[in-house]
Amino acid sequence: MAAVEIDHAVCIVSGMCASVAPDIFEVADDNSEVIVLQPNLPDELVDDANNAAVCCPVEAITVHPG
């Protein structure tokens, strides 16, 4: 199973990841951080996680293949 993580030290909470992959990422109500809803990805969400990683303006998302 693939896994996804965010480097919170780099993340600027742009929200792009949550827009691209709302089943995986969510911006906290106070816009203070991005929350990973599914750190262990089912196969059907791996492409969405990879797309979010590509869209991240600061490259804070890492997708680890399963």
Cα(63)–Cα(50) distance, rounded to whole angstroms?
6
Q: State the CATH number of the domain containing residue 47.
A: 3.30.70.20
Rounded to two decimals, what is the model's pTM? 0.94
3-state SS assignment for residue 27: strand
**Total structural domains in the chain?**
1
Domain hosting residue 9, numbered range? 2-64
Q: What are phi and psi of 36, to 5 degrees?
A: -90, 110
- Tell me the pLDDT tens digit for each residue of 9-58: 999 999 999 999 999 999 999 999 999 999 999 999 999 999 999 999 99
Helix (H) or strand (E) run with residue 5 in it: strand 2-6
pLDDT score recorded for residue 66: 84
End-to-end CA distance of the chain: 4
